[in-house]
Amino acid sequence: DAKTTQPPSMDCAEGRAANLPCNHSTISGNEYVYWYRQIHSQGPQYIIHGLKNNETNEMASLIITEDRKSSTLILPHATLRDTAVYYCIVRYNTNAGKSTFGDGTTLTVKP
Amino acid sequence: NAGVTQTPKFQVLKTGQSMTLQCAQDMNHEYMSWYRQDPGMGLRLIHYSVGAGITDQGEVPNGYNVSRSTTEDFPLRLLSAAPSQTSVYFCASYPDPGAPEKLFFGSGTQLSVL
């Protein structure tokens, strides 16, 4: 699986968009980009994933660059409950339970 | 639905003791995994199972054993606890290896080894 690099921490004002970057310069053609988050001490929660195209669901949007070497997770209107550790994972679309979760980005949403 | 249930929630062991962390799921998922999370770090895969009777090692398997005699249960055994095994342990289950949105985690077991 390709290695990812994320900033260790970020702040965001409540109600504003939170943009979380992830670098994955060694990604291969068939590897997907996945995002999960972990709130406080709970187990990780799936957010979104994509291969090449930008994706959007009820939680967030995922923007993947054309060369696929980086991506950005966008929370359009961050709330205090979005304060969490966000993990960017790159791997093949097989065996979700073998995901390697790096150190992630700690997002703090401030009032 | 209970989902993924882990017991106990907290445990303190002395070095050299053995114990079993329990994980049970009621969603009839074929796939299950065990992770550990050290303070301030991400999750690392210990062992995983792709069905009853089938297990394999993950990234950090040393010091841990698993078995999968039923679809529902996936216990993690610490053979001789060491302070380096102080961590939070998460169990996960999922029905489809290619469906990341269906990866369900338990609430974790916080283990301290003195």
| Chain B residues inside the 8 Å CB shell of A57 | none
Closest by alpha carbon to A34, among A81, A107, A100?
Answer: A100
Question: What pLDDT, in 10s, does the model give residues B64-95?
Answer: 999 999 999 999 999 999 999 999 999 999 88
- The predicted pLDDT at position A1 comes to 64
Instruction: Kindly state the percentage of chain B with pLDDT values over 90.
Output: 82
Q: Nearest by CB to A101, which of B43, B96, B104?
A: B43
Look at the block and give the residue holding tokens 């679309």. A93
| Chain B residues inside the 8 Å CB shell of A95 | 31, 48, 50, 97-98
- CA separation for the pair B2, B4 (Å, rounded): 6
Contact of A94 with chain B, judged by CB distance below 8 Å, is answered with yes
Look at the block and give the residue holding tokens 């698993």. B66
**What is the pLDDT confidence band of residue B96, given thresholds at 50, 70 and 90?**
confident
- Mean pLDDT (chain A) is 91
**A95: burial class by Cβ within 10 Å (0-12, 13-18, 19+)?**
middle
- The predicted pLDDT at position A91 comes to 82
Q: Nearest by CB to B90, which of A43, A102, A104?
A: A43
Are the beta carbons of B102 and A41 separated by less than 8 Å?
no
**A23: burial class by Cβ within 10 Å (0-12, 13-18, 19+)?**
middle
Residues found in chain A: 111
Question: What pLDDT, in 10s, does the model give residues B1-30?
Answer: 679 999 999 999 999 999 999 999 999 999
Compute the average pLDDT of residues A16-38.
Answer: 93
Judged against a pLDDT cut of 80, whether residue A67 lies above it is answered with: yes
**What is the pLDDT confidence band of residue B106, given thresholds at 50, 70 and 90?**
very high
Contact partners, residue B27, CB within 8 Å, separation at least 6: B1, B3, B4, B93, B95, B104
| Chain A residues inside the 8 Å CB shell of B40 | 103
Fill in the amino acid letter for B87: S
DSSP string, B7-76: E-SEEEE-TT--EEEEEEESS--SEEEEEEE-TTS-EEEEEEEEETTEEEE-SS-TTEEE--SSSSB--E
Is the CB of residue B102 less than 8 Å from the CB of residue B32? no
Q: A with B: how many residue pairs have Cβ under 8 Å apart? A: 75
Rounded to a whole number of angstroms, the distance from the CA of A9 to the nearest CA of chain B is 12
Judged against a pLDDT cut of 80, whether residue A79 lies above it is answered with: yes
Contact of A100 with chain B, judged by CB distance below 8 Å, is answered with yes
**What is the pLDDT confidence band of residue B48, given thresholds at 50, 70 and 90?**
very high
Is the CB of residue A4 less than 8 Å from the CB of residue A57? no
Contact of B98 with chain A, judged by CB distance below 8 Å, is answered with yes
- Pair of tokens at residue B62: 């040393």
